[in-house]
């Protein structure tokens, strides 16, 4: 009897399934389970089960830069349980996007977008090359700005009505900024390079009219990226 036949018979006699072994691993010592797997299963299956049982690294996609260049960082699953490591990874994710934006264009992905390995990422990029290229073209030379209206302290007594009437005649921030940007999403605005001066002028106009604004940017277009499914 060949080794393969013996392996098949052992599996059939014991009615063991991978799912049962994985469940048992949660209750038994890891080394005992791996020893059982070594006796009963081929090396390839053992490698796959080990990936499920033990922490490991995956490839995280932060974004895509000009020329369909992926911005990647290695993400260890164990780092997700460590607040210090997690903060460092989030900062690195954002830094990669800002560096690419400074060079021209970037298509940002949410933190935690992962692939099993670089080969899986490359395959996904190839399958979505068309829509990704179109989206990079659409966002080229554009950045996101956040503009929030800072609400003043509520007046007391007889001044309340007076302040409400004064506020009511102020120009609408969102409508004014939407006129000088390409898209709006809540307090976020997608602004092209050629619109920067008009956008800055509109901000100055709104502040001169009495609005107190909190402005941050330019940012990668987080709120406006249309990502493939």
Compute CA distances 225 → 6, 24, 87, 175, 200, whole Å.
55, 43, 23, 22, 23
Per-residue pLDDT tens digits for 156-208? 555 555 555 555 558 899 999 999 999 999 999 999 999 999 999 999 999 99
86 vs 77: which has the higher pLDDT? 86
Question: Cβ–Cβ contacts within 10 Å for residue 21, how many?
Answer: 19
Question: Cβ–Cβ contacts within 10 Å for residue 9, how many?
Answer: 11
Strand 213-219 to 142-149 pairing: antiparallel
Say if residues 37 and 49 touch (Cβ distance below 8 Å).
yes
The reported pLDDT for the residue numbered 222 is: 95
d(CA 70, CA 91): 17
49, pLDDT greater than 50: no
| Most confident by average pLDDT, 12-26, 78-92, 118-132 | 118-132
Q: pTM for the complete prediction? A: 0.67
- Strand-pair partners of 115: 59
The reported pLDDT for the residue numbered 128 is: 97
Say if residues 52 and 26 touch (Cβ distance below 8 Å).
no
Per-residue pLDDT tens digits for 88-106? 888 899 999 999 999 989 9
Which three-class secondary structure state does DSSP give residue 164?
Answer: helix
Kindly report the length of the chain: 229
- Strand-pair partners of 74: 59
35 vs 80: which has the higher pLDDT? 80
d(CA 106, CA 100): 6
């Amino acid at each position: 009897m060949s080794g393969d036949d013996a392996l098949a018979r052992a599996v059939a006699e014991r009615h063991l399934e991978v799912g049962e072994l994985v469940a048992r691993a949660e209750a038994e010592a890891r080394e005992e389970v791996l020893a059982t797997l070594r006796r009963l299963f081929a090396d390839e299956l053992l490698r796959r089960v080990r990936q499920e049982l033990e922490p490991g690294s995956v490839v995280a996609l932060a974004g895509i830069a000009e020329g369909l260049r992926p911005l990647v960082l290695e993400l260890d699953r164990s780092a997700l349980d460590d607040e210090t490591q997690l903060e460092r990874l989030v900062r690195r994710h954002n830094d990669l996007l800002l560096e690419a934006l400074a060079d021209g264009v970037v298509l940002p992905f949410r933190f935690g977008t992962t692939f099993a390995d670089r080969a899986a990422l490359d395959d996904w990029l190839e399958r979505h090359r068309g829509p990704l290229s179109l989206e990079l073209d659409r966002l080229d030379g554009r950045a996101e700005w956040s503009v929030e209206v800072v609400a003043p302290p509520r007046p007391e007594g007889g001044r309340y009505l007076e302040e409400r009437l004064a506020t009511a005649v102020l120009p609408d921030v969102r409508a004014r900024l939407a006129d000088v940007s390409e898209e709006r999403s809540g307090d976020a605005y997608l602004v092209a390079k050629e619109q920067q001066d008009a956008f800055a002028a509109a901000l100055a106009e709104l502040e001169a009219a009495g609005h107190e604004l909190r402005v941050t940017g330019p940012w990668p277009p987080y709120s406006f990226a249309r990502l493939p499914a």
